[in-house]
Structure 1
């Protein structure tokens, strides 16, 4: 079993519901959702291109999946994450947009979010003690030969290559898409998600996500509201 620390909108947020419809699974309940009817896209094609993000659920990764260190417990992780969340003020991402992420597609801020970058770096550092060391098999799956020197150092220090200065906030909507299909899938995603992306995205909770079994799908284990109770604005 692994945990991950992420951002995902609240369960009732229009973006959460749209993403569940697109990916075919609700990240809160774990329930499968019927695929959307999109002109020019077949349901089997959508299911194929969303297989990888469907497993991980709709989320922006802040601290990569990790196994608990031997001397750590879920109870202490929850306690410390609650304390951490209460020390960080809520903020907003003015706008998310569909973007190409290499050969995949996802949502990214229209402008870099320094607050999100700081939040991710702080979580990586504060909760590193909860992370069990990577096994050789886990390191090989990341393909260390394809990393830059900085990414390689991050992998061995923090358990993931894309942290600190290498971090980019993104919420994946597809796995690898064939080059010939990217423009068509991109247009469909822009049309499908446009209504849910009209308003700023409040970042007022930190989500602890949990993997179901070994290699199973991830779901939201718990939401941890950000900010002091007296000043808290829940999404």
Structure 2
């Protein structure tokens, strides 16, 4: 199957947390199949990306690179990167959407993400004029604009904030209920501490849903 873009995500390993996230969104990124009976009003927008935390945002491959080259580079990089652990995850409101976000010190994870963005940048094709125009419609800070120009995405490096998105933009009157529903759904399932011990290469199916292509264990010291 052909893929239009690739990205590097954190996705939970198979188990209750991965199952809960897939059922909430309605898409199992690990198997590339629909699951559950999701609420389209809440989860339709993030569903195509699967249950994940972005490490290197989706990108088109540069003309002189291939998927095999990207896989080889990510495998080698993962062997050099040490796993990190968060204190845990908590449900949060971010603007008009909700997500699971880290508790405690997340600086090691931010450093990990910056390393992956930088080390794999040679595989990223430059953004198109349409891509840039779409991003510039957002209210970006000067730093985020610099990131967009340098790395093809505004929310990387110092602007990176790890999150596992659970909704699209919600009307203010819905947010409280959705947070309560998510709290019931996930409960105490997310482990504490929360390990980030692998990276997942994902691909976008012909401009549609994202699916897992390969998981790489972080085995550096």
- Determine the structure 2 residue equivalent to 1:58: 51
Cα distance between partner residues in 2 of 1:174 and 1:221: 24
Cα distance between partner residues in 2 of 1:3 and 1:20: 20
* Aligned: 1:151 with 2:151: no
- Determine the structure 1 residue equivalent to 2:110: 117
CA 1:103/1:119 → structure 2, altered by over 3 Å: closer, same or farther? same
> TM-score if structure 1 supplies the norm length?
0.89
Match for residue 154 of structure 2 among 161, 171, 184: 161
Give yes or no for contact 2:86–2:193 (8 Å, CA) kept in 1.
Answer: yes
Cα distance between partner residues in 2 of 1:64 and 1:180: 30
> How many correspondences in the alignment?
218
- Determine the structure 1 residue equivalent to 2:19: 17
* Large movers: runs of 4+ above 4 Å: none
Cα distance between partner residues in 2 of 1:198 and 1:223: 20
Gaps of 5+ in 2: none
Deviations 1:137-181, CA, capped at 9 Å, x for gaps: 111222356211111111010000011111100000000011001
* Aligned: 1:204 with 2:197: yes
* Aligned: 1:8 with 2:11: yes
- 1:168-183 to 2 correspondence within 5 Å? 168-183=161-176
> TM-score if structure 2 supplies the norm length?
0.95
Give yes or no for contact 2:101–2:162 (8 Å, CA) kept in 1.
Answer: yes
Q: Secondary structure at the match of 1:196?
A: coil
Give yes or no for contact 1:144–1:152 (8 Å, CA) kept in 2.
Answer: no
- Determine the structure 2 residue equivalent to 1:222: 214
Q: Secondary structure at the match of 2:188?
A: helix
* RMSD over aligned Cα atoms: 1.3
Measure how far apart 1:201 and its partner are: 2.0
Cα distance between partner residues in 2 of 1:175 and 1:112: 26
Q: Secondary structure at the match of 2:213?
A: strand
